[in-house]
Amino acid sequence: MIAGLLPACSREEQSCAVGACPIGYQCADSTGLCELQTSGPALQTSLFGGIAAVGRGNGAPVVVGFAKDRQSLAVIDGNEVRFLAGPAASQNQQPAGQTSAAVRSEDGDLHVAWIRDADRTLWYGHGRAGTWQVQQVEAAAAGTVVRPLSIAWWEGQPAVAWRAGDAAAVRVAKRGPNGTWKAQTLPAPPPPRKGAAPSSDIGRSLALAAPAAGLTVAAYDATHGDVLLSVDSGDGWSTARLAGTDPLSGADTGDVGLPVAMAVGPDGELVVAYRDASRSAVMLARAAKGVVSHELVASGAVPGPAGTEQRDWIGASLSVAVRSDGSAAVAWFNGSRWSAELALQRAAGGFARVSPPAQLLGKSRQLWPAVSGDSAIWLSWVAVDATRGPTGSRVVQWPLPPEVWK
Amino acid sequence: MSRLSAGFSAALALTCAQLLAACNAPWTPLEAPIAATHQLSHVIAAAVADQDLPQLSETVRVLTGKQVEFAAPPLSLADSGHQRSAVAGTIDIAAVHVAWTPAGHLQVKAELGKLLLPMSIGKSGAAACALKWLASGGSAVVSVRFAPLAGGQAQAELVDAPAINWQGPGFSAAEVCLAPLAASAGPFLDQQIRQMLADALLPRLSAAALHAMRASFAPQLALAGQTTVGPLGSPPLKLKVQSAFGADGSGNLLTRGANLTLARLDAAVEVERHACAVDTPPPQIAPHASVQPTQVPSGKSLLRRGLNLDAALIAHLGWAWVRAGGWCRQAPLSTAAPISVEWLQEIAPDLAQWLDSAPTAVRLWPHASAEWSVVDWQENPALEWTFSDATLEIVAPVGGAEAVVLTLRGRLRGVLRPSVTSAGKVQLLFAHAAMDSAVVSSPLLGDAVTAGATERLAQLVSAAIQGISEPAAVLPLEGLLPSGTVVTAVSRAGDNLWLWLDGGLQDGNGL
User: pLDDT tens digits for B442-494?
Assistant: 999 887 677 678 889 999 999 999 999 988 988 888 888 999 999 999 999 99
Taking the Cβ of residue A367 and every Cβ of chain B, the question of whether any pair is shorter than 8 Å is answered with yes
Q: Chain B within 8 Å of A178 (Cβ-Cβ)?
A: no
The set of long-range contacts for A200-203, using a CB threshold of 8 Å and a minimum separation of 24, is: A200/A168, A201/A168, A202/A163, A202/A168, A202/A169, A202/A170, A202/A228, A203/A148, A203/A162, A203/A163, A203/A164, A203/A168, A203/A169, A203/A170
ipTM of this complex: 0.88
Q: Cβ contact (<8 Å) for B276 and A304?
A: yes
Residue B164 · residue B138 · CB < 8 Å? yes
Measured distance CA(A146)–CA(A122) in Å, rounded: 9
pLDDT band at A41 (very low <50, low <70, confident <90, very high): low
pLDDT digits over B175-229, tens only?
899 988 888 899 999 999 999 999 999 999 999 999 999 999 999 999 999 988 8
Residue A232: is its pLDDT beyond 90? yes
Say which residue, B23 or B50, is predicted with more confidence.
B50
Most confident of A178-182, A232-236, B450-454: A178-182
Do B276 and A301 contact (CB within 8 A), yes or no?
no
User: How far apart are alpha carbons A2 and A20 in whole angstroms?
Assistant: 6
pLDDT band at A209 (very low <50, low <70, confident <90, very high): very high
| This prediction's pTM | 0.86
Q: Do B278 and A317 touch (CB under 8 A)?
A: no
* pLDDT at B4 (0 to 100): 41
Would the CB atoms of A368 and B401 count as touching at under 8 Å?
Answer: yes
> What span, in angstroms and rounded, lies between the C-alpha atoms of A244 and B89?
67
**Sign of the Cα pseudo-torsion (B342, B348, B350, B352, in order):** negative
| pLDDT on residue B131 | 94
Tens of pLDDT, residues A244-278: 999 888 999 999 999 999 999 998 999 999 999 99
Separation between Cα atoms, residue B145 and residue B257, nearest integer Å: 16
Give the model's confidence band at A29: pLDDT under 50 very low, under 70 low, under 90 confident, else very high: low
Angstrom distances, CA of residue B346 to CA of B339, B351, B352, B394, B437: 12, 9, 9, 15, 18
pLDDT band at residue A34 using 50, 70 and 90 as cut-offs: low
Lowest average pLDDT, out of A129-138, B40-49, B105-114, B447-456, goes to B447-456
pLDDT at position A199 over 90: yes
Q: What is the spatial distance between Cα A205 and Cα A192, in angstroms, rounded to a whole number? A: 19
The answer on pLDDT for A37 being more than 60 is no
Peptide bond just before B471 cis, omega within 30 deg:
yes
Given pLDDT bands bounded at 50, 70 and 90, which one contains residue A100? Answer: very high
pLDDT of residue A13: 38
* Nearest Cα residue in chain A from B395: A335
Task: Give the helix ranges, DSSP H, for B121-232.
Answer: 185-217
Of B80-94, B194-208, B242-256, B380-394, the one with minimum mean pLDDT is: B242-256
Spatial separation of the C-alpha atoms in residues B144 and B158, rounded to whole Å: 4
Percentage above 90 pLDDT, chain A: 67
**Closest residue, chain A, to B355 (C-alpha):** A390
Per-residue pLDDT tens digits for B401-414: 999 999 999 999 99
Q: How many CB atoms lie within 10 A of CB B114?
A: 12
Distance from C-alpha of A162 to C-alpha of A148, rounded to nearest angstrom: 6
- DSSP H helices, A144-211, are none
CB contact residues (below 8 A), chain A span 38-97, against chain B:
48-50
Query: pLDDT exceeding 70 applies to what percent of chain B?
Result: 93
Q: Which residue of A308, A365, A382 to mutate against B (max B Cβ within 10 Å)?
A: A308
A205 at B interface, C-beta within 8 A: no
Residue of B nearest to A309 (CA): B276
Contact B148, B116 (CB under 8 A): no
CA-based radius of gyration for chain B: 32
Beta bridge mates, B143: B107
Residue B15 has pLDDT above 80, yes or no: no
Q: What are the backbone angles phi and psi of residue A393, rounded to the nearest 5°? A: -75, 155
Q: What are phi and psi for residue A244, nearest 5 degrees?
A: 100, -15
Answer yes or no: do A276 and B233 touch at CB < 8 A.
yes
pLDDT tens digits, one per residue of B329-366: 888 887 777 888 888 888 888 888 899 889 999 999 99
Distance of alpha carbon A88 from alpha carbon B304, whole angstroms: 75
Q: How many CB atoms lie within 10 A of CB B152?
A: 20
B352 touches chain A (CB under 8 A): no
Please write the tens of the pLDDT for every residue from B113-137. 999 999 999 988 888 999 999 999 9
Give the pLDDT confidence score for residue A22 in this predicted structure: 56
